[in-house]
Amino acid sequence: MTIRILCDFDGTVTEHDNIIALMKEFAPPAAFEPLKKGVLDRSLSIQSGVGQMFRLLPSDRKQDYVDFLEQRAVIRPGFKTLLAFAKSNRIDFAIVSGGIDFFVQPILKGLLTDEAIYCNGSDFSEETIRIEWPHACDAACNNQCGCCKTSIARKLKQDGDTIIAIGDSVTDFELAKQADHVYARDYLITLCEQHGIPYTPFETFYDIVEHLQTTEVYA
Ligand SMILES: [Mg+2]
Ligand SMILES: [Zn+2]
């Protein structure tokens, strides 16, 4: 029996969405905006939309992209404290992110090993960035998530495990529905309210540590 925290990255660990920031800075708006709109109104799958967005970025500026996002990313307060709390209580902690390895891993460097990070991959050997999907949907999901959070949960979860989901948005909702406990902020709160999914709101990771300490979630 293990307690597993599956935590979103963009808008959850970092205060803002890194893909949006990257595209706004480096992609031609006329090409990016329709893709963003398509993902939001669900006429494009996340996998297709995100894959096409990164095709807008030349591969030879990789270091510019990494530098831009590393300088800009703000980690939500309390993240280190939550990691330390999880470690000392034998809670398994993993990032499940629709972000891309080339910026997720550097931003989390020194905080988490790459093995604890589930995200999309990238190939810079072609003229523009080609996204790789090592955690694509399994047979139980036909959503074309790109990085499929429920598939990862199904793969990791053993009998008796408790899954705790932490997230902020629509891409966390399917996981939230299946989790044993949900910590939600921003739009994920609205979705949980609309669908009657129990959740605990949070603004910083200190809120989550405090709640974990005072509940039976992990007892
Ligand atoms: Mg998010
Ligand atoms: Zn999926």
Q: Which ligand is nearest to the CA of 14?
A: 1
- The CA 170 to ligand 1 mean position distance, Å, reads 8
**How many angstroms separate the CA atoms of 73 and 39, rounded?**
23
0.85 cut: is pTM over it? Answer: yes
* Ligand 2 midpoint to CA 152 (Å): 9
Give the closest residue to 117 by CA, choosing from 91, 97, 131, 145: 97
> How far lies 197's CA from each of 18, 71, 161, 177, in Å?
27, 36, 19, 7
Taking the centre of ligand 1 as the mean of its atom positions, its distance from the CA of residue 166, in whole angstroms, is 9
pLDDT in tens, the chain (219 residues): 899 999 999 999 999 999 999 999 999 999 999 999 999 888 999 999 999 999 999 999 999 999 999 999 999 999 999 999 999 999 999 999 999 999 999 999 999 999 999 999 999 999 999 999 999 999 999 999 999 999 999 999 888 899 999 999 989 999 999 999 999 999 999 999 999 999 999 999 999 999 999 886 654
Domains defined for the chain, CATH in brackets: 3-213 (3.40.50.1000)
Q: How far is the CA of 98 from the centre of ligand 2 (A)?
A: 11
Q: Calculate how far, in angstroms, residue 44's C-alpha sits from the geometric centre of ligand 1.
A: 18
What's the gap in Å between 12 CA and the centre of ligand 1?
5
Ligand lying nearest the CA atom of residue 168: 1
Beta bridge pairs of residue 165: 6, 182
